[in-house]
Amino acid sequence: MSDVPKTDNRSHRQGIGEATQVVASLWFSVGKETLSVISLQAAKSHRNERIAVNVLRGAAVFVIFAIAVLIVYLAFEGTKTFSVDKFPVWKFLFSSDYDPGNNLGGSAVFITGTLLVTGFAIVVGGPFGIAVGVFLSEVAPARMAQILKPAIELLVGIPSVVYGWLGLTLLVPFLRTHTSSPSGFGLAAAGIVLSIMILPTVISLSEDAFRSLPVSLREGSMALGSTRWQMITGVLLPSASSGLTVALILGIARAIGEALAVQMVIGNSSQFPRGIFAPTASLTTEIVIDMGGAPQGSFQEHVLFSMALLLLLIAMALILLVRFALRGRG
């Protein structure tokens, strides 16, 4: 009898024990399951993460790959004038005897043309652009800036052929009737078109240069009793000089590479210009005109690729200059 409750008790205890065990194991297994679900999700999102990083890095590597292939390919193709055809480099740079049919590839005329139109553009467009940049940063009331900024964006958006077409239909006839130029085509027409085209670049970059200056400079200058104009010329211009240099360099880069707008108004005569209104040619215009007719593998084609390589080298040099100017700022 006494055994019975004991056993009962035992079995009862046992029952409780079993129940706890079941509950525990049940809880444990469910817990394990949710845990494994969570860890599965985590593993999945970690895998996604790894894939994403690699794909994104691939896109970044592509940028390096693109510029590397471009430089190598153009360097290879652009030096064939000197390596395959044995045309001396100094003659390419400094001789003006250009007759590719007879293996003469002196490109001094085109190099001069490029330098002159670019110089014209930066001398006219540079100061103008910086002035409007100062205006936007220091003078313009909010409403004026609201009109001016979209206008500048539109000037950027207008395609270069449309600038060329405007030059052709508006500027060239004007120059023909009002200057000594018999045709209106020439250095001045190309320079004016280019100076308008680089304006947006110079304006927005120089505005940024002025805006990045600390307010304390302006307050200090004003507190000393200077007028706004004295503050601009005496304090802000010198302080923003590296930023303004960058603005001008990138304006030059834009002008040097422009092809079709220049080609439409420069007159396309392969001789040194005999005056500011005289027709001439530049590196880009010569490539545009002659590349289509140059047989593949010919001396003429090689010379044109050498001109392209020269343009690329100038562009790279300008980028290094920009880096240098910005490093000076610290």
Partner 1 sequence: MASAASSAPSRRLSSNSGVRLRRLIDALATGVLWIMAASIICLLATFIMYLFYLGFHSLSWQFLTSAPTQSAGGGIGPEIYNSFYILVLTLIFTVPISLGAGIYLQEYARPGLFRSVVQFSAESLATVPSIVMGLFGLLIFVFYFHWGFTALGGALTLTLLNLPALVRVTQEALASVPDSLREASIGLGATKWQTIMRTVLPSAIGRLTTGIVLIAGRIFGETAALIFTAGLSVSANHPYELNPFRSAETLAIHLWYTHSESVIPDVDRVGNGSALVLLIMVLAFNIAARLAGSALTKRFTGRSS
Asked if 290 touches partner 1 (CB under 8 A), the answer is no
Asked if 157 touches partner 1 (CB under 8 A), the answer is yes
| Mask for 90-119, x = binds partner 1 (CB under 8 A) | ------------------------------
Site for partner 1 in 27-86 (CB under 8 A): 45-46, 48-49, 52-53, 55-64, 66-70, 73-74, 77
Alpha-carbon distance of 189 to 140, in angstroms, equals 31
For partner 1, which stretch binds (CB under 8 A), given 12-20, 24-32, 214-222, 249-257? 249-257
Q: Strand, helix or coil at 276?
A: coil
- Count of CA atoms in the C-beta half-sphere (13 A) of 320: 6
Nearest CB to partner 1, comparing residues 264 and 278: 264
For partner 1, which stretch binds (CB under 8 A), given 94-102, 179-187, 272-280, 303-311? 303-311
Asked if 243 touches partner 1 (CB under 8 A), the answer is no
Residue 173: CB minimum distance to partner 1, A: 12
Residue 231: CB minimum distance to partner 1, A: 9
Q: Which residue has the tokens 């250095």?
A: 187
Task: Give which of 39, 95, 84 is closest to 270, Cα–Cα.
Answer: 95
Alpha-carbon distance of 124 to 144, in angstroms, equals 24
Site for partner 1 in 306-325 (CB under 8 A): 308, 311-312, 315-316, 318-319, 322-323
Q: Give the contacts of 190 (CB within 8 A, at least 6 positions apart).
A: 117, 120, 167, 262, 265, 266, 282
Asked if 211 touches partner 1 (CB under 8 A), the answer is no
Residue 165: CB minimum distance to partner 1, A: 5
What phi and psi values does residue 251 have, to the nearest 5 degrees?
A: -65, -45
Task: Give which of 309, 271, 310, 308 is closest to 288, Cα–Cα.
Answer: 308
Task: Give which of 207, 208, 284, 198 is closest to 249, Cα–Cα.
Answer: 198
Nearest CB to partner 1, comparing residues 235 and 287: 287
Please work out the total of residues on this chain that contact partner 1, with binding judged by CB under 8 A: 87
Task: Give which of 261, 243, 309, 265 is closest to 111, Cα–Cα.
Answer: 309
Nearest CB to partner 1, comparing residues 108 and 260: 260
Asked if 135 touches partner 1 (CB under 8 A), the answer is yes
